Amino acid sequence: MATSIHYNILTSPAEAAAFMFVLLLLNTACQAQLTSTFYQNSCPNALSAIRTSIRNSIAAERRMAASLIRLHFHDCFVQGCDASILLEETPSIESEQTAVPNKDSARGYGVIEKAKSEVEKICPGVVSCADILAVAARDASAYVGGPSWTLMLGRRDSTTASRTLANSELPRFTDGLDRLISRFQSKGLNARDMVALSGSHTLGQAQCVTFRDRIYNNVTIDAGFASTRRVAVQLLASKSLTARDDCFVRLDLNLGSHTLRQAQFFTFWDGVYCNGTNIDAGFASYQQRHCPAIGAIQLCST
């Protein structure tokens, strides 16, 4: 079993707003048929059923909130928010679940299936899995203290998946800044959107292999911070330390020096902060510019 350690990256209110904004931008094409009231007549209790199911799942395993947000992002980044990531391997489908960025790390499939079964009890064959996954990510964020947003609904489920696209398009923890910017630009997102979306790492768990090189071999990372993380990784590897489950389970909307140290886990941070660029003011201006636009952007979210 891979050694893992919990991590917590605190975010500002501006970053929370930016995170919400970026989730709404993950698809670049407007679809006029999407509406926040899509199921108002066909399945009026759908959203409450999904919310209850998701909350119960997170209450049973707090880490699941982070997993659902990540699952939604990995779905949207490949072929759009179409639930293609939920399709399992068949003779005609190369499942995205077995792509390198998803294999043994993407999780929450069973939670979505459970929510789907609850909805099917009241409205069989009405609500798409794509919508359920989108609602689940939104409700997971809200349940752990993060932002919520009005969802445009009416997505259709994909009947195909692409492991090839998942392998080639999903961001990797080894990507440098330029490579990540390029990946996000291909989805209509700019560098500031990318940094804002890093706020999704405000809670959850990471395998030590994803940042081991950062804390042992990188001269730009804060020495004290790296030292404490090396000790934690060594203790976890020797099984003399159990990662706590009662921490790192809320989206904290405060920004402080702890945030900037924790962010050094990411390779791209060398280009964002360690070169002297200060993002604090950037996020403030980002919030001022984009918060009023969120309502309009929701109309173009798929």
Residue ranges for the known binding site for Ca(2+) are 75, 78, 80, 82, 84, 96, 202
Contact assessment for residue 102 and residue 166, using Cβ atoms and an 8 Å cutoff: yes
Tell the burial category of 271 from Cβ atoms under 10 Å away from its Cβ (0-12, 13-18, 19+): middle
Compute the distance between CA of residue 143 and CA of residue 250 in angstroms, rounded to an integer.
8
Q: Report helix, strand or coil for 296.
A: helix
Residue 125, sorted as left (phi over 0), alpha (psi -120 to 50) or beta, turns out to be left
Compute the distance between CA of residue 210 and CA of residue 265 in angstroms, rounded to an integer.
8
In angstroms, how far is the first alpha carbon of the chain from the final one?
37
Residue ranges for the known binding site for substrate are 171
Rg for the chain (alpha carbons), in Å? Answer: 19
Q: Report helix, strand or coil for 240.
A: coil
> Residue 74 catalytic?
yes
Catalytic residue selected from 6, 74, 258, 290:
74
Compute the distance between CA of residue 155 and CA of residue 158 in angstroms, rounded to an integer.
9
Residue ranges for the known binding site are 75, 78, 80, 82, 84, 96, 171, 201-202
User: Hey, what are 62's tokens?
Assistant: 């707090």
Q: Could you tell me which residues come within 8 angstroms of residue 11 by beta carbon, excluding any fewer than 6 positions away?
A: 19, 199, 202, 251, 252, 253, 254, 255, 259
Indicate which residues carry an active-site annotation: 74
